[in-house]
Structure 1
Amino acid sequence: MKWIKTTFCILICYTKISATAQSITVNDSYTAQNLVGLLTNNSSCANTSDPTAFGDTFSGTQNSYGYFNAGTSAFPFTEGVLLSTWSSVYSKGPFIREPASGPNSGTSNWTGDADLEQALGITNSSNATALEFNFTAMTNTISFNYLFASNEYQDNFPCNYSDGFAFLIKEIGTTTYQNLAVIPGTNTPVSSKNVHPAIPEFNSTTGPKPGCPAINETYFGSLNTSPTNTSPINYSGQTKVLNAQTTVDPGKTYHVKLVIADQGGYYYDSAIFIEAGSFSSKINLGSNQTIATNNPICFGESYIIDTKLSPTYSYKWFKNNSATPIPGEISPSLTVTDSGIYDVEIELGSLNCIATGQITIEYTPEIVLNNQTMVQCDDNGDGISVFDLTKMDTAIKNNDSSLSAVVYYQTLSNAKAAINPIANPKSFNNTVANQIIFARVSNSYGCTNYAELKLQISNSSIAPQNPIVTCDGDTTQDGLYHFVLNSQVSPQVLQGLPQGLAVEYYLNPPDAVLQNNSLPNIFNNTVPNQQIIYARIINGADCYDITPITLAVNTFNPINFQEENTSLCNGNAISLAVATGYSSYLWNTGETTRTITASASGDYSVKVTNGNGCEATKTFHITPSGIATITGAEIIDFSGNQNSVLIEYTGVGNYEFSVDGYYFQDDPKFEGLAPDTYTAYARDKNGCGLSDPFVFYVLDYPRYFTPNGDGFNDTWRIKNLNLLPQSTVTIYDRYGKLLKQLNSSTIEWNGLFNGSALSANDYWFSTTFEDGKIIKGHFSLKR
């Protein structure tokens, strides 16, 4: 245990109370012999001897061990043996909190137990109580039912403290005990510290104490600390009913010691309640062999249920709860071959000693496998080929995806021993003709079955195949084109063969044998003009034959078949033609001659076919053309060397232009024109003709003149202004004084004003044209 707590309590809260209809009763006058007899119900099947008991050494008149009876309470055991760390009579309910220091808790003079301490690995035990006896096993299993109760199940004690108890057994003549009072499936001792619910924080008189999470709560029964609790026992909590058992050797004698003690102090006591009659020899027929426990018996196997007892006993075996024994089965073991619940009843030397055992046997479903034959083609006729065994996995497993992967072996003995599997089943070379290999398959329970796989070399053959010829149908005539294998090749390959065959295609024989790197249905040959591929004819997973297929690509690249562009003058016709010597001609106009006449613009094409059936197409693009009409001229003049004209025109042809009738250019714009009269022309480059002439004028003015009578630049005039009779020119001096007005009749100025020569200077002019356009500028008079 324990810490020592100082707690005040009114005396009446711990006064011994009389048993009620809700409480167990306790009789502490039973001897060790009485208690052992109670555990075994004095059965002749339990050969016990040398019973002893020890415990309470402080009260003088009471024992810490005794007999209990549930009476009318809800206690889970009707009666049994009680071992406690205080006077056993104080175990009667209901629960009353035990003071930290009280008259019933024992004394430090009441010692512990060395065997318990050694078994549990603890020290400082006290107030030990034990019941010991020897027994000689008649069967192979012993067990008893018990419940642990303790006043440690309060406050936050389970997080830190626990009394110790153990059910110890050892074979006579040996020194090491085995403790049977453990958490099922573990070596962890049952205790309040190892079995409890979640413990909340506890507020004590000295401050809060931390709680702890639940541990092995599955095995915890109940807390009895509620103020309204009327528990039949005087303990603050208890486990569920637990079972302690172990296997023993029939005929051997064992020593049993049931012992409990306080640990670390003698307060807050605990007890063990052991069910009467639960200490018994049983027949352990082994664990159930079921699908639910994941260990059923494999289909087709036999299983021996063995009691491992002497053949001198009398045996009866039963199946599926039948009251009639299985005829003829009177041996210590029973061989079974099918599922069922099997019971054995054994008379152990006396009609008063009957032991029983039961086991459930279930068989797995049969692993149904299919023997298979795999037919492969031989690429060189030596009877040896490469087989991809894995292609038969699904067929061998009968399409059962729950089974394991198939493992292949060359001998059945290897398959059964699971040794020397075929290392690479995807590429296995047979060693002899019609070789049989063996497939091993397991289910999820480790059961196995075997199937045969016969490896055969195909003896089928097909006739040599004609080349598959196509034309190079793209614009690059390089001998490379595509083949639609299923429609262009397969019909020829399968012609005359049995129904149900299919064809796969490969680049080379090894790939065809191994079915590696199959070609796509639309295959582009990689060797120009002619290439050999290999057709594998298959019948399901089997190979019927492998045959070479020649793929030929004919090119057709006639000369002068590039597209042509030409033009057609309005109202005319043109002849379109290709060379002679082709098998056929077909124009997009429907005509089938090599020459046609086109009288309208548009696209014309002709498809020609040669002797191999290959086609080529030539296209003529005819554009319309005609004589242009010049509609005007956009003139920039009065700009010196920047004078220009842009000829305006309409028409559908391809034109070149001239302003003198001799020199033609593509651009309708002419620049750097001197003042003059010009005639513009537009000429169709396609030969359709020359436009009507179009006359235009470029005007400009002199930037100076020298009226000195030498015959050069003696007057100032605008050239060609006389061609525009409605135009006028007004000349001013720098002050805006009108000096001269020119028109179609007076077209030049000599530098005189009112008969007098003006001085050298700059003068200004303004020209108004017929259309209202006004041009202004200035010029110099030089003397």
Structure 2
Amino acid sequence: MKQETLLLFCIILLYGSFSVFGQGSSCENLDPFCAGDEELVFPNSNTTNSNIVNGQPGPDYGCLLSQPYPAWFYLQVEETGNLRFDISQFQNEDGGGSQYDVDFIVWGPFDRTEDYCTDDSLSELNIVDCSYEPDTVEQMFIPNAEEGQVYVVLITNYEELPGFISLRQTNSDQANSGSTDCGILDEVLGPDRFLCGQNETTLDATTDGVERYEWFRFDNTTNNFEIIANEEDPTLTITNSGRYKVIVYENITGQADEDEIEVTFYSEPVANTPEDLYLCDPNQTTIDLSAASAEILNGNSAEENYRVNFYESIQELEAENPISNPTAFPVEESREIVAQVEGTESGCLSNEVIFNVELTFVPENFLPAESVICVDVDGTVLDQQGIGEDLGTDYTYEWIAGGNTISTEAVLNFTETPNFNSVSLIVTDIRSGCTIEFNTTLLVYSRPETVEVEIEGSDFTGGYIISAEATPGPGNETTYEYSADNGNWQGSTVFRNLDPGNHTISAREINGCGITTSEEFYLVGYPRFFTPNSDGYNDTWNIENTTEIQIKKLYVFDRYGKLIKELTPGGAGWDGTYNGRTLPADDYWFRVEFEKDGTNDHFGANFTLKR
């Protein structure tokens, strides 16, 4: 405690006719102060700037036996916690020069709406901290300060000399520390607003302990905020984009504080449903979804820029998980894609639209590398033949030969032998514009003109060997298959083991362009069996003469070698009896003596009598 007498406080200070009054010289003229990590420095009250020599009467000043040149302040708590400050007083603003004794007292806590300058408020009951020590640095401590509370602080200048007061919070980095706020408003207007599809919005600056409000709008012409006449309420309803400001005046101190906000009204973006996208090339594994962006964005205003976000499903849109690589989106099958337009400045979103990604691959074997045209031996086309396939109304076709378009039908029909060897086909998908080109070589084939037969051997000399020769018809060189008597087809032209009797050999073109059959020919031989049952079929057994073989003698024996019958060539044949007696069913033998090509020969074998 300073060792001074009360007489010292009775000294009369005389001033000239001009005085400079320090701010906060009375409680009704409170100034705010606050301190965070940075030091707050401000001028003290002294003989050069104030004529308030001592504290106003009424308050309980606690430990301050005197209050020379008082400076009144208030602080407002921003964050709940303990507040600890160093208060010091120096001759110079930078902390240099002489150090002066500094004293203080703190009252509180008060609500913002309270009148905290009354004698009842500044009473002994509300004193929080006080120091009257002869120190140039004092520690001010406010424990358990709560957010929104107000504390009144009086700092005195015991030595009455001009100087500067320094205020620094010393516990801001410690646990359970609080913080102070110099503002009346706490950004009550909030962040800038981007309003989508709205016509108006209301700004609300309602603040406790505020006496009046003033609203302003920024004028781009004057480059200043201009007051909005007759708007003194805590709220302001606006319909135009712009920069707005509110100034509030505290009802206790009259202190002014302000907040600003930028409000922009945006039209809601529009998303148009685009045409489906198509993937044409079967070797292409990705598609550029942004190709649909222009169509989706069509019709939006020019008030801001837009982007299109693509999603794999409605669920992905709701989860705000857009496709990350829309320019190279992998596609394995036809599927739906969801799109939404977003304003790049406002973040406004459109309705969602859905379109398809379609895979429109024409079958790879749609047109073979080679196409067959069948003609007859005179060169005419067999019936009406065509190449190609009708894929439906979604496709167009262009057939090209020799550089000229010869047809736009799905199937290229031929009524006569074409005079070109190859043809191209361009197939276009009308929906996507995708095109694919095929090329095919035309192969003209025909059935054989003739089939000639050459006969070698006989039934009596190891069997016949029949050789067929097909004479090619017009068109390209081809391959034929052969058949004897409408039997199985074979590639070989040689036939063996044909039974005696009438035969034909047929040859067919392997691509189905027709069959030609030889003239009928007859093979001489012996019957392998006969059935003497008087039914008119195979009732007798005999060997006939032919132009190739002349029968001289013909004998029939039983299985023991007994001569049963000598037959006359060309006669009635054997009826299965011996001396008028019917012989049993069994194997019998014959011997034939014949002349062939001027040479005599003989042959023997068995045959069967069946009953």
Same fold (TM over 0.5): no
Normalising by structure 2, we get a TM-score of: 0.34
As a proportion of its length, which structure holds more helix? 1
As a proportion of its length, which structure holds more strand? 2
